[in-house]
Amino acid sequence: MRIPRHLAIIMDGNGRWAEQRSLPRIAGHHRGVETVQAVVEECRTLGVKYLTLYAFSSENWGRPDEEVSALMELLSRYLESELDSMLSRNIRFQVIGESSRLPVGVRETLQRVIDLTSANTELVLTLALSYGSRNELVRAARAIASEVVSGRRTVEQIDDALFDEFLDTHGMPDPDLLIRTSGEMRISNFLLWQMAYTELYFSEALWPEFSSEELHVAFREFARRQRRFGLTAAQICNESENRGEDSH
Ligand code: FPP
């Protein structure tokens, strides 16, 4: 079965999962971390090479202070507890987003895990933290404009490839598949540039309930889709026949 090389996930529904059980919202985030652990392991086993998780959006700073602090605390504990497992499973960890806005203690832990796992090659696990796609695009546009103003580049040199280089995701392939849980059908300011040709899959499951079986269903659906990248179906068939592949 064709497996996405890069899977991106909007992990949604932790709060509703908790509210349905009359639990505090943070209990949903705790269960959400367990789902993260299971999904990371399943993706590694299935051969996904890049997994990008939307863990904290630029807009999430507006949540009640106690929920924001609890999420930061949970993130630090997750990183501390997963470091050994990332090292033994050959997982490289990285972050996208405005990490300068994160508390200094969280930033130090993030940097330590990034540095210690930097030579790993099996799976690149990326957390989007304090991330918003428009913010990323504006930062990239500003950085490119500075290069032009300083004379290091010309306006004519600005193209898709150059823009890619200035995004937080530089060096990563674009996502092949996006999964969003909890029945919401929105992109919510996630990887807008990078998802130009990404297949979208929406699951009704709340994130704490999202299981390996659900992941397999999403991958089967992905494998059935024909990705055309703006070309015709016939062209895609010819291209894949030339490569000796099954295009479906
Ligand atoms: C969406 O649920 C989830 C988040 C805003 C945060 C995602 C965080 C986790 C899965 C736990 C922390 C992750 C790591 C990697 C340590 P929501 O709160 O928006 O749910 P709702 O829409 O039902 O209110």
Q: pLDDT digit string (tens) for 106-125?
A: 999 999 999 999 999 999 99
Residue 112 Cα to ligand 1 midpoint, Å, equals 23
Residue with tokens 């709340």: 206
Q: Does the pLDDT at position 138 exceed 50?
A: yes
> Nearest CA to 192 among 200, 184, 204?
200
Query: What distance separates the 2 farthest-apart alpha carbons in the chain?
Result: 59
Instruction: Quote the pLDDT of residue 56.
Output: 98
Which sequence positions are flagged as catalytic? Answer: 12, 60
**Which residues are registered as beta bridge partners of 127?**
53, 95
Alpha-helical segments (H) within 117-195: 133-149, 160-165
Q: pLDDT digit string (tens) for 140-180?
A: 999 999 999 999 999 999 999 999 999 999 999 999 999 99
**Domains along the chain with CATH numbers:** 6-132+174-243 (3.40.1180.10)
Ligand 1 pocket test, pick from 9, 14, 52, 83 with the greatest ligand atom count within 8 Å of Cβ, gives 14
Cβ–ligand 1 contact at 97 (below 6 Å): no
Q: Does the pLDDT at position 247 exceed 60?
A: no
Q: pLDDT digit string (tens) for 85-107?
A: 999 999 999 999 999 999 999 99
pLDDT average, residue stretch 60-79: 98
Cβ–ligand 1 contact at 172 (below 6 Å): no
Q: pLDDT digit string (tens) for 24-66?
A: 999 999 999 999 999 999 999 999 999 999 999 999 999 999 9
| Tokens (6 digits) for 148 | 């032009």
Counting from 1 in the atom list of ligand 1, the atom nearest the Cα of 28 is 18
Q: Does the pLDDT at position 203 exceed 60?
A: yes
| Tokens (6 digits) for 117 | 């796992």
Average pLDDT of the chain to the nearest whole number: 95
